[in-house]
Chains A and B, each alone.
Chain A
Amino acid sequence: MPTKIKLKRGFDIRLQGEADPNKVTRATSDLYAVKPTDFRALAPKLEVKAGDRVRAGDPLFSDKYRPEVKFTSPVSGIVEEVRRGEKRRVMAVVVRADEQIAYKPFDAPSLDRLTKEGLIALLLESGLWPLIKQRPYDIVADPGARPKGIFATAFDSAPLAPDYRLLLKDDARALEAGLEALGKLAPLHVNAREDQASVLPARLPAGARVHFFEGPHPAGNAGVQIHHLAPLGKGETAWTISLPDAALVGRLLLEGRVDARKRVAITGPEVTGPGYAETIAGARVGCLAEGGEGRRMISGNALTGDRVEEDDFLGFYHRQVTVIAEGNRPEFLGWALPGFGKLSMSRTFPAFLFPRRRYRADTNLRGEERAFVVSGQYEKVLPMDVLPVYLLKAILAGNVEKMEQLGIYEVAPEDLALCEFACTSKVPVQEIVARGIALMMKELS
């Protein structure tokens, strides 16, 4: 019997531009890339240079400090460039794709012969290992760790998030195989929503447990779910993966190759005809949606996604592109007018009277940064037994002991994204949490 967990705190941001489930188009890109910046705290070691020929599944770069963790090309083709940013930091390894994808063959044993060690080795070699992340720190999992569980998220509760049922529609077999395999790594927990339970495969591996989560965003976040199922103490680890990524693992096992095809939701108020696109991981964002002057393109959702331009690439973990208007216009007496049609959780705006309304939000900061003034605001959107403001203050003060006590091991920036959204004082919450995680990793290494 699935356990049911009902979360009350949180908030569903209702934006315009939800992806139409009946609209699925094919989007092929000329360029594909893997971006080291998608992985927290990763120091990449390049395995290729511009001009090299790669197959789908050949490594592009690896983790400098854990060389067994490889990041492989989603397509075959010629390495177009190694894009660098400030201080020559590697931003992306870009591959110009062949017409026909050539796959590097992997020797995938059948599921009943697959061992834990064999699976880890296969995932590392094929570049699918980074799909598994770990808490604490929300980084690529440490293959040598002994996690207390592997938690598969079966829904996404973020604004305009894709419907996993649609993403996985033609992948039932791969999903089943993927979960079967992941169940060998650690006790498997699948965290679903009851009304989207059809996303679950007919047969789950023995010992796997299903949990139903109910409630507003961030109920779909792995961090929130783990907090309620198996809270992490010091020294403990949990692994996380999303259900569509589990299907990629399944494809590798069934086909013996890295088949990085992905369905991506193209969403947001600035998208004409929002729907789903059939593409490949790391596709150029410009091939998926239209940006341009006055528009903000985001790989991912509007709360946690990365700001991208048309010649940037879809994030490694992302199955969503959001396009919203830039809000770089001053607004006359914007704080004083009644503000009908403005998106706000605060009842100082009339939005709370129209709970069904969808909003055309833009990127305006809606004010200036201030010291913490209003209290009790963050707690309303964080369904965890964590005192967010005290945690943030501990991070700002660099107090490692307090950070540990107040829950730094349990949170990722995405879990506190709504705090940042709702903040009256416009505090950059996610940036602070990321800084805190970086500090912990440095202190404990």
Chain B
Amino acid sequence: MKFLRSFLDKHRPAFEKGGRLQSLHSLFAGIEAFLYVPDRVTRSGCAIRDAVDLKRTMSVVVVALLPALLFGMYNVGYQHHLATGGGGDFWSMFLHGFARVLPLIIVSYAVGLGIEFAAAQLRGHEINEGFLVTGLLIPMVMPVTAPLWMVGLSTAFAVIIGKEIFGGTGMNIWNPALLARAFFFFSYPSRMSGDKVWVDGLPDGMSVATPLAEASQGEAFAHDLGTMFWGLVPGSVGETSAFCILLGAALLLVTGVGSWKIMTAVAIGGAGMALLLQQALPETNPYSQVTVARHLLSGGFAFGAIFMATDPVTAAQTSAGKWVYGLLVGVMAILIRALNPGYPEGMMLAILLMNTFAPLIDWCVVQQNIRRRMKRGVSHVNRQPT
């Protein structure tokens, strides 16, 4: 590794102020910080620091996404073979899916990181790690047939309008990956809500419905709960397998990177609302037939609950606020699904909606803290442990 170090040290002057490649300074600094934890030492305050940083945290999320991503690639191939009637072994299916999904990932990272680097250079900031996760989330919530230029445009919209104009990572109001999906959804609706878009290489005249579409149209369910749990159903690239998503969830929970409060609250809110609708809707409404388990396993509910709703920047940040926020995400997701004739999926809009209200929820929690602190007695020795 000496070679790498001396290579970086040798070329650093060119990227520094007044250097030949000064305009690429943020790129150089970003790559260097990626390869090496910087030699920076503490100046004031604590002399020692916890080894954790944002790169570590973000890379845990990336690893947590891998099972769902790899399965998604396999599923793309599997659905393709199923629809076209062709056979194939595991590897041919996986490689087919890999070849279809990889371009989406490359486009998402290239566009997003390009904008991030440019913004960092423009502002004289360091490059933030946020896009490491966003860049992988975007292809995972897209239909595999999404044209690459649309993916690129959606990514650019999400990064510029969703993040950079607010000040970059940590300042954004909405989850950037979901914003990309929302942009795509509303700009090119036929590419997202149509039946044919979910399976790659579908021959003319054939259509494959996602479990959600079946539910909304009151069709007979073609997929049993087991298939839906393992994930061999049509859908966005990364969202179909509840099992793989739960693997990721386990990693997020063990490492403490994802908030267990939000995940639990979303599940409770969703299940509660599904149960309520089952009872309250007239029997003519197809959603009165959808069980709690089917709701939680279909569409982007699981993926959203684990990877999207828990985004620490756009979720509520206070402890009590996380519960309220999570419950409302779950409730809204099912509510939008069932009571909205326009489109079958509700998770994306529910999370974006609650992202918008998260600061308000936190504000209420903070006000409550202030009131409680004002009311404290003069002396209370026997208090509950904190």
Q: Which residue from chain A places its CB closest to the CB of B371 in the assembled complex? A: A405
Q: Does A197 contact B (CB under 8 A)?
A: no
Q: Mark A418-445, 1 if CB is under 8 A from B, else 0.
A: 0011111110111100000000000000
Q: Does B187 contact A (CB under 8 A)?
A: no
A-B contacts counted at CB < 8 A amount to 232
Partner of B56, one of A3, A229, A233, A335: A335
- In the complex, chain A residues 1-53 whose Cβ is within 8 Å of any chain B Cβ: 3, 5-9, 13, 15
**Most B-side CB within 10 Å, residue of A332, A342, A373, A384:** A373
- Cα-based distance from A332 to B2 in the complex (angstroms): 10
Q: Which residue from chain B places its CB closest to the CB of A11 in the assembled complex? A: B50
Q: Smallest Cβ distance from B132 to chain A, in angstroms? A: 11
- Cα-based distance from A228 to B254 in the complex (angstroms): 32
Q: Smallest Cβ distance from B176 to chain A, in angstroms? A: 13
Residues of B within 8 A of A332 (CB): 1, 4-5, 35-36
Q: Is the CB of A373 within 8 A of B383?
A: no
Partner of B386, one of A322, A375, A384: A384
- Cα-based distance from A148 to B379 in the complex (angstroms): 10
- Cα-based distance from A270 to B56 in the complex (angstroms): 28
Q: Does A355 contact B (CB under 8 A)?
A: no
Q: Does A67 contact B (CB under 8 A)?
A: no
- Cα-based distance from A428 to B40 in the complex (angstroms): 14
Q: Smallest Cβ distance from B130 to chain A, in angstroms? A: 7
Residues of B within 8 A of A304 (CB): 45-46
- In the complex, chain A residues 337-352 whose Cβ is within 8 Å of any chain B Cβ: 339, 342-349, 351
Q: Mark A230-270, 1 if CB is under 8 A from B, else 0.
A: 11010000000000000000000000000000000000000
Residues of A within 8 A of B372 (CB): 385
Q: Is the CB of B257 within 8 A of A348?
A: yes
Q: Smallest Cβ distance from B169 to chain A, in angstroms? A: 6
Q: Is the CB of A370 within 8 A of B381?
A: no
Which stretch in A76-84, A107-115, A276-284, A361-369 binds the other chain? A361-369
Q: Does B227 contact A (CB under 8 A)?
A: no
Q: Is the CB of B37 within 8 A of A371?
A: no
Q: Is the CB of B373 within 8 A of A327?
A: no
Q: Mark B358-385, 1 if CB is under 8 A from A, else 0.
A: 0000000010011011101011011101
Partner of B256, one of A296, A346, A361, A387: A346
Which stretch in B96-104, B139-147, B197-205, B313-321 binds the other chain? B313-321
Q: Smallest Cβ distance from A47 to chain B, in angstroms? A: 29
Q: Does B344 contact A (CB under 8 A)?
A: no
Q: Is the CB of A348 within 8 A of B60?
A: yes
- Known A-B contacts A347-B256, A364-B40; the reply to A370 vs B50 at CB < 8 A is no
Q: Which residue from chain B places its CB closest to the CB of A214 in the assembled complex? A: B385
Chain A, interface SS category: loop
Q: Does A303 contact B (CB under 8 A)?
A: yes
- Cα-based distance from A421 to B47 in the complex (angstroms): 8
Q: Which residue from chain A places its CB closest to the CB of B8 in the assembled complex? A: A330
- Cα-based distance from A5 to B382 in the complex (angstroms): 8
- Cα-based distance from A408 to B228 in the complex (angstroms): 52
Q: Is the CB of B48 within 8 A of A344?
A: no
Q: Does A201 contact B (CB under 8 A)?
A: no
Q: Mark B54-72, 1 if CB is under 8 A from A, else 0.
A: 1111011000000000000
- In the complex, chain B residues 255-276 whose Cβ is within 8 Å of any chain A Cβ: 255-257, 259
Q: Is the CB of B53 within 8 A of A368?
A: yes
Q: Is the CB of B313 within 8 A of A373?
A: yes
Q: Smallest Cβ distance from A375 to chain B, in angstroms? A: 4
Q: Is the CB of A324 within 8 A of B59?
A: no
Q: Smallest Cβ distance from B310 to chain A, in angstroms? A: 10
Q: Which residue from chain B places its CB closest to the CB of A234 in the assembled complex? A: B374
Q: Does A98 contact B (CB under 8 A)?
A: no
Partner of B379, one of A229, A348, A370: A229
Residues of B within 8 A of A426 (CB): 49, 53
- Known A-B contacts A230-B378, A344-B50, A385-B373; the reply to A390 vs B366 at CB < 8 A is yes
Q: Does A100 contact B (CB under 8 A)?
A: no
Partner of A8, one of B4, B37, B318, B385: B385
Q: Does B52 contact A (CB under 8 A)?
A: yes
Partner of B37, one of A159, A307, A366: A366
- Cα-based distance from A417 to B171 in the complex (angstroms): 24
Q: Smallest Cβ distance from A290 to chain B, in angstroms? A: 17
**Most A-side CB within 10 Å, residue of B4, B35, B59, B168:** B35
Residues of B within 8 A of A344 (CB): 50-52
Q: Is the CB of A330 within 8 A of B36?
A: yes
Number of interface residues of A (CB under 8 A): 85
Partner of B48, one of A233, A370, A405, A421: A421
Q: Is the CB of A430 within 8 A of B386?
A: no
Partner of B385, one of A5, A333, A413, A429: A5
Q: Which residue from chain B places its CB closest to the CB of A394 in the assembled complex? A: B366
Residues of B within 8 A of A231 (CB): 373, 376
- Cα-based distance from A277 to B378 in the complex (angstroms): 41
Q: Does B128 contact A (CB under 8 A)?
A: yes
- Cα-based distance from A363 to B373 in the complex (angstroms): 37
Q: Is the CB of B52 within 8 A of A366?
A: yes
- Cα-based distance from A390 to B319 in the complex (angstroms): 13
Q: Is the CB of B373 within 8 A of A407?
A: yes
- Cα-based distance from A430 to B373 in the complex (angstroms): 22
Q: Is the CB of B53 within 8 A of A417?
A: no
Q: Is the CB of A6 within 8 A of B385?
A: yes
- Cα-based distance from A154 to B313 in the complex (angstroms): 41
Q: Does B44 contact A (CB under 8 A)?
A: yes
Q: Is the CB of B169 within 8 A of A383?
A: no
Q: Does A206 contact B (CB under 8 A)?
A: no
- Known A-B contacts A348-B257, A364-B39, A430-B45; the reply to A335 vs B59 at CB < 8 A is yes
Residues of A within 8 A of B36 (CB): 330-334
- Known A-B contacts A298-B47, A348-B257, A413-B45; the reply to A330 vs B170 at CB < 8 A is no
Residues of A within 8 A of B164 (CB): none
Q: Does B126 contact A (CB under 8 A)?
A: yes
Q: Is the CB of A343 within 8 A of B48?
A: yes
Q: Does B33 contact A (CB under 8 A)?
A: yes
Partner of A428, one of B4, B45, B378: B45
Residues of A within 8 A of B54 (CB): 367, 370, 373-374, 424-425
Q: Is the CB of B381 within 8 A of A421?
A: no
- Cα-based distance from A330 to B57 in the complex (angstroms): 19
Q: Which residue from chain B places its CB closest to the CB of A297 in the assembled complex? A: B47
Q: Smallest Cβ distance from B47 to chain A, in angstroms? A: 5
Residues of A within 8 A of B5 (CB): 330, 332
- Known A-B contacts A335-B55, A348-B257; the reply to A343 vs B50 at CB < 8 A is yes
Q: Is the CB of A430 within 8 A of B53?
A: no
**Most A-side CB within 10 Å, residue of B42, B47, B167, B382:** B47
Q: Does B342 contact A (CB under 8 A)?
A: no
Q: Smallest Cβ distance from A3 to chain B, in angstroms? A: 5
When A and B form their complex, which 6 residue pairs have the shortest distance between CB atoms, in order from nearest?
A367-B53, A371-B170, A334-B37, A330-B36, A346-B52, A375-B317
Q: Can you name 12 A-B pairs with beta carbons within 8 Å?
A: A5-B383, A231-B376, A328-B41, A336-B59, A344-B51, A347-B254, A348-B256, A367-B37, A370-B129, A375-B312, A424-B53, A424-B54
| Given A148-B379, A296-B41, A370-B169, 12 new contacts (CB under 8 A) | A13-B48, A302-B48, A303-B47, A329-B39, A331-B36, A344-B50, A361-B48, A364-B41, A366-B52, A387-B318, A420-B45, A421-B49
Where the two chains meet, the residues of B that have a C-beta atom closer than 8 Å to any C-beta of A are 1, 4-5, 33, 35-57, 59-60, 126, 128-130, 167-171, 254-257, 259, 312-313, 315, 317-319, 322, 366, 369-370, 372-374, 376, 378-379, 381-383, 385-386
